[in-house]
Structure 1
Amino acid sequence: MATGDLAVRVTFSIQTVVGILGNFSLLYHYLLLRFTGYRPRSTDLIIKNLIVANILVLFSVGIYNTLSSFGWYHIFNDFGCKFFPYVRRVGRGVSTGTTCLLSVFQAIAISPRNSRWAALKGKALKCIVPSIVLCWVLQVLVNIIYPMFLTSTLNNKNITNRESFGRCSTIFQDKTRDPLYVALLSFPDMVFLVLMLWASSSIVFILYRHKQRVQHILRTNVSSTSSPESTATKTILLLVSTFVYFNTLSSIFHIVLGLLDNLSWYILSTNLVFSLCFPTISPFLLMSRDPRVSMVCFAWIRNIKSPHPMRNM
């Protein structure tokens, strides 16, 4: 048990530190792009929102559980059991909605001119900010149920109808309403997931059709993989695939947690570790696939030597 506890402490610490450094590095990358005069992409605002959601998840899960595993959980007490799970759920929900928005927007952006989605290209740009605001408002309101029913197991209240989740527990007031609460919390994520899968399938189909067309072009300077738009599209597909993979694993553990009465410490810890995987990996995935990362470094060096800033891209 001591070995497993130590492994969880180290895993939480590594994921939290690496994830926070990665997300702040990606945010610094976008700030550097702005100050060096590069024209921002239409998806940059969506990715910045994803960075904020990732940081919320990393702080709420990583820092709280790292401190708790080292015996400092008494500092947060009942407040920690209400605040940190609420922030984690909001951050995770916003991350799901943002990834969905990113895939849907890219599917519309790369749609052919003769497609029925071509008319939405101009409107999609205007809908980015309202969609992000709506996503935040939806997650803040839906997940308000968490601080209402979560409490610390360390308090002195004699409550019999509670289910323990380690250092926190859920208070059941009416078991007949539990399926309603689960459906309410799961419905937005299910809608986002369905839209995400639909958009990703559309992107794969559009890329396949485009590849079939360019095979008939004899000019060697035309390539479906060398264009920045194609690279960005494949990056979003990889990001969505990574999200779906870890979200599926996390969902399986959530189902197990809901079915079991006596929850295992290892199941709880493994579920939290999986919930940190996407916020930790996604910034490095985006930076490794973005050709502007290396270009902006050279541009920044040249701008230091030259008084005239670059205005390209």
Structure 2
Amino acid sequence: MVHFIQAGTGILANAFFLIFHIFTIQQVHRLRPTDITTCHLAFVHIVMLLTTLDILSEDMFQLWNFPNELKCKLLFYLSRVMRGLSISTTCLLSIIQVITISPSSFCLSRFKHKLTSYIVFAFFCIWSLNLYTNSYVISYTVAHCNGINLLNVSKYCSLSSMKSIIMTLLFTLGMSQSGLFVGMMLLSSMYMVVCLCRHQRKSEYLHSMSISPRIIPIKRATCTVLVLVSFFVIMCCVDSIISSFSTTLWRYESVVLDFQIMVENVYATVSPLVLISSDKRLIDILHNVIDMATILK
């Protein structure tokens, strides 16, 4: 029930955020890079949560008219790719925000005016990277059975045993990739904090925020990205500890598996709520809906 409530909340929140921005993007002539990236993040989280439901739910798992092993390969591969895209897109979002708020003297500022066109290339790179690095899942994922040399990754699917050197190599590759993206997010966060402090000192020097109204939405967007990155790093560290512990023992206790899935899905559930709460347009829509519901009642 906890998994279904968590996934349902995340899917609804991400879908609401994505649909709103699709209609908003159609009405404006100039796309903001952060809007495109957050829409991509919402889409990735919707697919990730739906995949989790397919893996956990017996009814949904049996609904697919494919052999169980093929279902396991497709679902678990898609799940790993979406989780990789989640961290990649969050990292990309933090870098885009750094470029957006950076002064003209910053080395990356030359990308600012063509940032939207570069995002398409960035999406191609992160999709290619995650599709390739998670391809081993297709070979090693099998339908669940009671074999002693299997690592259970869900109630229905398992990873078949592999040589220790291959397991070590894959684990090192995965941790290195995650560590690289987390490190880039931490560096971007530190730079954004420095920029926020600089804007704050400038505002205090000018004695009024109204002299530079453009700073207010920039600060709001930067703070939102900082909250997302900080929350993601915390959840990623907790997930890495659980994953490394389970992989080392080459076993997954059911309680550990359930807890890890819940931890992995926390960011996908919370991130759209953070984005919605920081978007004044969405807050106004929600207030209008509540007011209309109150009047009709």
TM score, norm. by length of structure 2: 0.86
1:143–1:62 distance in 2 versus 1, CA, 3 Å: same
Q: Which residue of 2 aligns with 1:11?
A: 2
What is the CA-CA distance between 1:71 and the residue it aligns to? 10
1:290–1:187 distance in 2 versus 1, CA, 3 Å: same
Distance in 2 between residues matched to 1:247 and 1:224, nearest whole Å: 36
Greater RCO structure (CA 8 Å; 6+ sep): 1
1:80–1:63 distance in 2 versus 1, CA, 3 Å: same
1:287–1:39 distance in 2 versus 1, CA, 3 Å: farther
Give the counterpart letter for 2:42 in structure 1.
I
1:127–1:103 distance in 2 versus 1, CA, 3 Å: same
Within 5 Å, give how 1:285-296 maps onto structure 2. 285-294=274-283
What is the CA-CA distance between 1:288 and the residue it aligns to? 0.9
Counterpart of 2:25 (choices 15, 34, 42) is: 34
- Higher normalized helix content (fraction of residues): 2
Unaligned ranges ≥5, structure 1:
1-9, 300-313
In the alignment, does 2:87 pair up with 1:96?
A: yes
What is the CA-CA distance between 1:220 and the residue it aligns to? 5.3
What is the CA-CA distance between 1:183 and the residue it aligns to? 2.0
What is the CA-CA distance between 1:194 and the residue it aligns to? 1.0
Give the counterpart letter for 1:279 in structure 2.
A
Percent identity over the alignment is 27
Q: Which residue of 2 aligns with 1:58?
A: 49
Q: Which residue of 2 aligns with 1:118?
A: 109
State the aligned residue count.
286
Counterpart of 1:196 (choices 175, 185, 208) is: 185
Q: Which residue of 1 aligns with 2:233?
A: 244
Distance in 2 between residues matched to 1:225 and 1:265, nearest whole Å: 51
SS of equivalent to 2:206: coil
Within 5 Å, give how 1:190-269 maps onto structure 2. 190-219=179-208, 221-222=210-211, 227-269=216-258
Larger Rg: 1
Of residues 21-30 and 80-89 in structure 1, the stretch that sits farther from structure 2 once superposed is 80-89
Unaligned ranges ≥5, structure 2:
289-297
Q: Give the aligned CA root-mean-square deviation in angstroms.
A: 2.8
Give the counterpart letter for 1:290 in structure 2.
D
Of residues 275-284 and 173-182 in structure 1, the stretch that sits farther from structure 2 once superposed is 173-182
What is the CA-CA distance between 1:234 and the residue it aligns to? 0.9
Distance in 1 between residues matched to 2:152 and 2:266, nearest whole Å: 25
Distance in 2 between residues matched to 1:74 and 1:232, nearest whole Å: 42
Distance in 1 between residues matched to 2:180 and 2:195, nearest whole Å: 23
In the alignment, does 2:96 pair up with 1:105?
A: yes
1:263–1:123 distance in 2 versus 1, CA, 3 Å: same
